[in-house]
Structure 1
Amino acid sequence: MRSALTRLICTALSLSAWPLLASAEENTAPQSDAPQNDAPQNDRTVVQESMTVIGETDNNQIELTGLTETLANVPGGTNLIDLDEMNGSQASLAKVLNYEPGIVVQEFFGGNDQPRINIRGSGIQDNPVNRGIQLLYDGLSLNQPDGSFIIGLLDAEQAKYISVYRGANAMRYGATTLGGAINLHPRNASNSERSLKVEAGSFGLRKAALDLSNQWNNWDYYLNASHYQQDGFRNHSEGERDSLALNIGYQNLEWENRSYINITDNRFDIPFLLTKEEATNNPESVMGEGDTPMDELLNIPIREPFRDSQQYRLANKTSYHGLNASHTLGVYAEKTEDTFRNPLSQSDTTTHNYGLDYSTDYTHISESDLATNYLLFVSANQGAMPREYHAINPVNGSLMQQFADVDLTASNIVAGGQITQDIGLNWKALASIQWAYNDREIEDRKNPGVLDSQLTYSELNPKVGLIWSPELDQRYYANYSASSEAPNFWQLATVSASPHDPLNNYLFINDLKMQTANTIEVGTQQQWSRLSWELSYYYSLVDDELISVVGDFAVNGKTINYDGRTIHQGIEFGLNAAEESVFMAGDQIIGKLVYNYSDFRFDDGAYQGNRIAGIPTHLIQAEFGYRPTHQWYLGANVRWQPEETWVDHMNTESVQQDAFFLLGLKTSYKPSDLLNVFIELNNVTDETYQTSYAIRGQGAPDLPTFIPGAGFNFSTGMKVSW
């Protein structure tokens, strides 16, 4: 696969060069046999290049303005990230999404780019997290047919902007999840330069990415080819990803059409978990390198757990923008091959997924200049995910018998409408309704009829909201919303495996209900010349929450609908400040503070009164920077969890995640518009801490639970643009 992908990248690079060659031929070809005047021709060339740059800048500004206005019309918490405004490394999704209000990122699987992402308690019960958020690429779903996702397939550097709709604020994009939606807005020739980026660092980190683009008349293309690999902080934690992204677009004053081709090959080894004692005293180790009974039972060097995934995706999106109305239609098709091996069993899944998304909106302006916007939207997808299961030989790590073989088929329809009404010069009201239908079918191919199941879910989700904007840069909002989330096949079809007796591994079916939630939210955004801040408070009552109750060895995770109501409430706060000419003319001090408060509890039921495990109650992140000149940046950042965190729902004190304080330093220098270099130092105090963990019903000190965080490490890189 990797050699094939390499050949494909080389072919794409050679094909993509033809517009450049054609352009060069046009510029060098004589216009006539008559003598040419060099001076006017040079002047004309300069003017043409300037017009091209201005056009690209205008298109980029139009895109940014459009995204900003779209999010400003959402009566709830959102984020907008401009990757080109970030200082330092963008090598991982965790780095890009960190330091954002409402988003909690934990490294998983030993520091590879497979982060556990949480928004308002979304999917925190799963190990690894594979649900709870709708992932989008230019507004088109990246999730598998059953709603699950493989987070490592995302390469954040393919995006120019990332918009985040927290919670049910993502209703328009078909998100029926508790966490909302993360939308990657891809790079194209209008918003990005041609560039070469390289990066290297500790633990064998190497990354290189080439961006090529060009525009001619109304057409443009953008090509990204990248390679990422890392040996990892721990033993048996190597990871590697190759990706190719190509989009070709056509645009005029009314129409825009863009086609996407994405190919990703992602593989990483899984170092698995450690007991609290080993994670503290020997964080680089893996099970099997010691002499305890648990080391002998879960010998990682022999069992060799890993995940190997390839994705091939083709998509097209067409938009029409009229004077008062617009229409957007997107279609996509993808194939994913996924081999996922834990210490006790291996699953092999081949997925074919087909989907579409359509929306239309119309704006009416009354005689009193009050606007009414009508929005209709529908998204649908259908796919097959046949999955085979094998046991792992504990002696030599080879595959043993196939103990299950099932056809998994999923289909989904989400449709709805929304009205946004100006009710005064400074007031705006919103009313929306969303209908979600999910179908999950399981057919037993190994023992026909034994595991066959069909589960159907349907829910109607309303939302009402209000926005008050007394000043241009002030916004207050409130909303009530409902959300629903159907279980995916990882939760419906569950493996029971034993390290002692692999011949008796088996698959069973969970008859699960849909998780539903009702949420109220209030918040504000404020901006002044040197200071901006945002604050959201949300309170969710969740019924039938999908809770994973992990077994002794952290691989037998049965999912249940919790037998009582759960409460998710929290505060999402972000502050940005800047001051110029502090020590000398033209210098600048920059500050950023993010505080996420997460109070998730069991209201009643078996764990009544306990906190839901998995998310720190308090997470404080900050970055302070100084620019002596426009070209040079010096910064320090902190990530602070001031309290211990529960890792099991029984709230067992002996197995809590320790509090920690991480300090980082970075510097970047941009001597010209063509070159940018940076150096990052992470965990400079070399603190020992646990970055993540398996969430259990009840934990114990002698069970493998924790994933250690990396010690002191660094990365350095440069970007050359043209």
Structure 2
Amino acid sequence: MKRRHRSDFLSSRRALIGANSLVLLTGMSLLPHEGAYAAKLASKDTNKTRHAAPTRAAARPANNKPTLKPSTESITVSQQRLSPAAAASRQLDTVPGGVSVINSKEVLRSRNLTNADILAFQPGVFAQSSGGGDGLRLSIRGSGIQTGTNYFRSGILMMFDGLPVTTPAGTPYELFETLGIQYTEVLRGANAFDYGGVQLGGAINYVTPTGYTADHYQARVEAGSFNYNKQQISSGAVIGKSDYYISITKSYRGGYQAQTAASSFGVNANYGYRFNDNVSTRLFFRYRQTQNGYPGYLTRDQIETNPKQAQALYATLHGHRIQPGSKFYGDMTTIRIDDKSKLELGFDYQDAPIDIQNTATAQRWGYKTVAGVVRYSRNDKLWGHKSETLFGVDTYTDLEAWQTNRSRTTTGIYAKIPFGTVLRHSDYGGTDNYFHIRNNFELFHNFWLAAAGALDFVQRSMDVAYPTTSSVSTSGLGFTPRGGFRYVISPHVSIYGNVSRSFQPPNDWQLLSGALYTSGPAQGLNASGVKLDNQTATTYEAGTRGEWKNNRWSVSYYYSDVRNELLTVMTPLSQLYGATTYSNASPTTHQGVEASLETDLIKWSGGKLGLRQSYTWQDFHFKHDAVFGRNALPGIPAHFYQGEIRLDLKNGLYANFNTQVSSKVSGSYDDTYFAPSYHIFNTTIGYDWPHKHRQVFLSFNNLANTHYASIVVPGYIAAGKQLAAFQPGDGFGVFAGVSAGFN
């Protein structure tokens, strides 16, 4: 065997320790693609070291006693390498609050239709899909609980690979394809501070595979009930200093409910280049086009008797929504300045055209936005104590934002108006700028103090240009401090607590919530805007996470004192014209418990039987509203539970039986009208070939064919009447899938 030169050995050892074990040795965080690179590099360098080590002659001093050589150390370090998801989880464990990491290897063991499948079993996260569409009802700690399924997401910072997808308009949802994701970070509330996430709901960060972690070739097919089918092909490879990953997906779903047919086509790609050991960059591209039918809303009795029907209004108008082709371009460059500090520079551009054909008017939207991030982090020792500091700048700005309404019916008030006549045109604008700094300081062994603060500057504007003119603009400056502690009682148990502020501006289009046109072709549409205040809150949180014997847990309690909460209401008139009204509420309270528990019930040489559970208690209510007193805020259940018994055999066979339980949900602000509580059951059986990237599964969903409302978009006052405010969940369905990867 050829003797390896000392400089080569030291170079390999330095790369191995620097890239793969940085979290363990210095506490510095890795970017998603750095973690992927580290895992692959560690694997390669470990093999080299193990072959090279026996050829290194042990140097002996004069006393003839052997001296231990660095090769032994390099083998020891390589054994500590973590997968990208595990490395991300290790890093998030330093956050003094509720966080979690979702490994997509677990999610891919069954159907991946929408992001509700990815976000299942996440405490504090309410993610429900209706009709199999991409527009989820998504809420964390009560963020955006009144926003329906046909709107940009509100109250949560959404990201791809640490780059913001959220804009001053909110978050366009069509780019969030479930396949082609390596792992997902969920940071609830102000625990998203390091990403510049100062909104009430926190942040969700989807991390994609790279050439260092993906199969060279991979294919996946899913199919099942309601004419559902989905296909994916992907490829990833390392070529010298470069690597690439590309995933192409296509799907179709006829729908359980009438008028919910959905189709999509998407591309997700990235390209990385390592200039040297300290400087690397990665380019990202996403493209996706979708078309979704829109069934409207049903009453409680309609869901109980026939959940497959569509609301008469939308059935007559053949409501549907088209995203003809949204695009996301991004880049993240990492500069490792030295062993103690690094700099991350990110940039992205989005183009999200929308064509909504739901109501009596067609709405065409154009959104082009740009975002930039700067994050500088370093580790030091101050007065002999460990200190970790991060400084960041996050900014997102509308480049072009507009909406045009046209007539799409020749009945009613549009009987004498030519089809496609322009009824109203409006322009929007906004910018969000967050300057934040955070320090974690180890006051004494395993007891860390966290101190942080952010300066927030936001602007919003709305201009109606036709048929009349009207404009509204707002700006705001806020300061969001944060303080907390984390105490590692033992290597596997920690407790934490924090106090923080949150800051959430309205989406730019929400300002168009003023008076309505009372005559002319634009009758029923908003003619002017309103000034909406920025929503703020002070949140107190305490909790624990860890593992003991065969149990792994995470429990958080939070209490938020909310001011100027951004609420919306749906009325029959707003449904007809797509002009939902937004306003600031009187003071409200959000509090809750977020708990998860994974337990290994039985272990034996051939496998294990486990139980995982996720429970969320949510109490959101007015404090002393002039009209509603201390009523609960409608739209979301107070209790939500998911539990699953799992069997995993070492021969590759796996099976599970799970349940989802929800308490009743109020469908009106007067709290007199409710969607009933429900529980549904599902089961999956599959086979994962040991040591091969091949898999098959068969899933049975909603075994009892339960009729239930998965989504509630509340009306104002029910007063004993049944409002059309509910969207049904799917009935009984069977789904199968097969996946194969090759290297």
Shorter chain as denominator, the TM-score bin is 0.7 to 0.9
Give the Cα–Cα distance (whole angstroms) in 2 for the partners of residues 498 and 284 of structure 1: 35
8 A contact 2:114–2:134 mirrored in 1:
yes
How many Å apart are 1:170 and its aligned residue? 1.1
1:308 maps to a residue whose letter is Q
Give the Cα–Cα distance (whole angstroms) in 2 for the partners of residues 285 and 445 of structure 1: 38
Helix, strand or coil at the partner of 2:391: strand
How many Å apart are 1:90 and its aligned residue? 2.3
> Which residue of 2 is the match for residue 352 of structure 1?
368
1:129-148 matched pairs, under 5 angstroms: 130-144=153-167, 146-148=168-170
Identity %: 22
> Which residue of 1 is the match for residue 596 of structure 2?
574
Give the Cα–Cα distance (whole angstroms) in 2 for the partners of residues 105 and 462 of structure 1: 29
1:466 to 482, 485, 508: 485
> Which residue of 2 is the match for residue 376 of structure 1?
391
Give the Cα–Cα distance (whole angstroms) in 2 for the partners of residues 499 and 340 of structure 1: 23
8 A contact 1:300–1:343 mirrored in 2:
no
1:176 to 184, 198, 219: 198
8 A contact 1:75–1:466 mirrored in 2:
yes
1:547 to 557, 562, 567: 567
Structure 1 residues 503 and 250: alpha-carbon distance in aligned structure 2, compared to 1, 3 A threshold: closer
1:336 to 339, 346, 352: 352
> Which residue of 2 is the match for residue 154 of structure 1?
176
> Which residue of 2 is the match for residue 646 of structure 1?
666
Give the Cα–Cα distance (whole angstroms) in 1 for the partners of residues 741 and 81 of structure 2: 17
Give the Cα–Cα distance (whole angstroms) in 1 for the partners of residues 517 and 639 of structure 2: 37
How many Å apart are 1:440 and its aligned residue? 1.3
Structure 1 residues 499 and 308: alpha-carbon distance in aligned structure 2, compared to 1, 3 A threshold: farther
Aligned residues: 655
Give the Cα–Cα distance (whole angstroms) in 2 for the partners of residues 171 and 147 of structure 1: 21
Give the Cα–Cα distance (whole angstroms) in 1 for the partners of residues 664 and 602 of structure 2: 39
> Which residue of 1 is the match for residue 443 of structure 2?
423
Helix, strand or coil at the partner of 1:688: coil
8 A contact 2:515–2:529 mirrored in 1:
no
Please report the TM-score for the alignment, with normalisation by the length of structure 2: 0.84
Helix, strand or coil at the partner of 2:118: helix
Instruction: String of CA shifts for 1:633-661, please: whole Å, max 9, x gaps.
Output: 011000012x3221111101xx3111111
1:197-346 matched pairs, under 5 angstroms: 197-251=220-274, 252-288=276-312, 298-321=313-336, 322-346=338-362
1:482 and 2:498 correspond: no
> Which residue of 2 is the match for residue 688 of structure 1?
707
> Which residue of 2 is the match for residue 36 of structure 1?
none
8 A contact 1:535–1:572 mirrored in 2:
yes
1:119 maps to a residue whose letter is I
Structure 1 residues 174 and 510: alpha-carbon distance in aligned structure 2, compared to 1, 3 A threshold: same
How many Å apart are 1:54 and its aligned residue? 6.6
8 A contact 2:292–2:320 mirrored in 1:
no
How many Å apart are 1:285 and its aligned residue? 0.9
Instruction: String of CA shifts for 1:17-61, please: whole Å, max 9, x gaps.
Output: xxxxxxxxxxxxxxxxxxxxxxxxxxxxxxx99849979x99983
1:157 maps to a residue whose letter is L
8 A contact 1:496–1:505 mirrored in 2:
no
Give the Cα–Cα distance (whole angstroms) in 2 for the partners of residues 681 and 232 of structure 1: 16
Give the Cα–Cα distance (whole angstroms) in 2 for the partners of residues 287 and 349 of structure 1: 24
> Which residue of 2 is the match for residue 411 of structure 1?
431
8 A contact 2:562–2:589 mirrored in 1:
yes
Give the Cα–Cα distance (whole angstroms) in 2 for the partners of residues 596 and 677 of structure 1: 32
Structure 1 residues 501 and 571: alpha-carbon distance in aligned structure 2, compared to 1, 3 A threshold: farther
How many Å apart are 1:152 and its aligned residue? 3.1
Give the Cα–Cα distance (whole angstroms) in 2 for the partners of residues 339 and 648 of structure 1: 29
8 A contact 2:524–2:573 mirrored in 1:
no
Give the Cα–Cα distance (whole angstroms) in 1 for the partners of residues 603 and 535 of structure 2: 53
Instruction: String of CA shifts for 1:595-642, please: whole Å, max 9, x gaps.
Output: 10001111111222110111111111101011244400011000012x
Give the Cα–Cα distance (whole angstroms) in 2 for the partners of residues 499 and 532 of structure 1: 60
Helix, strand or coil at the partner of 1:685: coil
Instruction: String of CA shifts for 1:300-330, please: whole Å, max 9, x gaps.
Output: 2434342435211211100122200110000
> Which residue of 2 is the match for residue 387 of structure 1?
403
Please, which runs of 5 or more residues in structure 1 have no aligned partner? 1-47, 289-297
8 A contact 2:426–2:464 mirrored in 1:
yes
8 A contact 1:495–1:506 mirrored in 2:
no
Give the Cα–Cα distance (whole angstroms) in 1 for the partners of residues 651 and 572 of structure 2: 55
> Which residue of 1 is the match for residue 117 of structure 2?
95
Give the Cα–Cα distance (whole angstroms) in 2 for the partners of residues 392 and 101 of structure 1: 42
Helix, strand or coil at the partner of 1:452: strand
Structure 1 residues 516 and 331: alpha-carbon distance in aligned structure 2, compared to 1, 3 A threshold: same
1:316 maps to a residue whose letter is D
Helix, strand or coil at the partner of 1:203: coil
> Which residue of 2 is the match for residue 44 of structure 1?
none
2:552 to 503, 507, 532: 532
How many Å apart are 1:101 and its aligned residue? 1.1
Structure 1 residues 394 and 626: alpha-carbon distance in aligned structure 2, compared to 1, 3 A threshold: farther
Give the Cα–Cα distance (whole angstroms) in 2 for the partners of residues 702 and 601 of structure 1: 22
1:71 to 79, 88, 92: 92
How many Å apart are 1:275 and its aligned residue? 1.9
Instruction: String of CA shifts for 1:198-254, please: whole Å, max 9, x gaps.
Output: 000110111011110110222110001111211111111111111101101023432
Instruction: String of CA shifts for 1:172-211, please: whole Å, max 9, x gaps.
Output: 2222311010001111122222310100011011101111
Give the Cα–Cα distance (whole angstroms) in 1 for the partners of residues 272 and 639 of structure 2: 44
> Which residue of 2 is the match for residue 698 of structure 1?
717
1:584-663 matched pairs, under 5 angstroms: 585-605=605-625, 606-641=627-662, 643-652=663-672, 655-663=673-681
8 A contact 1:403–1:505 mirrored in 2:
no
1:429 maps to a residue whose letter is L
1:114-129 matched pairs, under 5 angstroms: 114-128=135-149
Helix, strand or coil at the partner of 2:352: strand
Stretch deviating more after TM superposition (435-444 or 599-608): 435-444
Give the Cα–Cα distance (whole angstroms) in 1 for the partners of residues 379 and 740 of structure 2: 43
Please, which runs of 5 or more residues in structure 2 have no aligned partner? 1-40, 49-77
8 A contact 2:473–2:531 mirrored in 1:
no
Give the Cα–Cα distance (whole angstroms) in 2 for the partners of residues 615 and 572 of structure 1: 15
How many Å apart are 1:73 and its aligned residue? 1.4
Structure 1 residues 427 and 61: alpha-carbon distance in aligned structure 2, compared to 1, 3 A threshold: same
Helix, strand or coil at the partner of 1:491: helix
> Which residue of 2 is the match for residue 457 of structure 1?
476
Structure 1 residues 612 and 366: alpha-carbon distance in aligned structure 2, compared to 1, 3 A threshold: same
1:84 and 2:66 correspond: no
Structure 1 residues 299 and 519: alpha-carbon distance in aligned structure 2, compared to 1, 3 A threshold: closer
How many Å apart are 1:72 and its aligned residue? 1.2
> Which residue of 2 is the match for residue 294 of structure 1?
none
Instruction: String of CA shifts for 1:259-312, please: whole Å, max 9, x gaps.
Output: 011111121110111122212111111133xxxxxxxxx252434342435211
Instruction: String of CA shifts for 1:80-101, please: whole Å, max 9, x gaps.
Output: 0010133212232110101111
8 A contact 2:408–2:419 mirrored in 1:
yes
Give the Cα–Cα distance (whole angstroms) in 2 for the partners of residues 52 and 390 of structure 1: 62
Structure 1 residues 509 and 277: alpha-carbon distance in aligned structure 2, compared to 1, 3 A threshold: same
Structure 1 residues 580 and 275: alpha-carbon distance in aligned structure 2, compared to 1, 3 A threshold: closer
Give the Cα–Cα distance (whole angstroms) in 1 for the partners of residues 431 and 466 of structure 2: 23
Helix, strand or coil at the partner of 1:85: helix
Give the Cα–Cα distance (whole angstroms) in 2 for the partners of residues 614 and 445 of structure 1: 34
Give the Cα–Cα distance (whole angstroms) in 1 for the partners of residues 530 and 220 of structure 2: 47
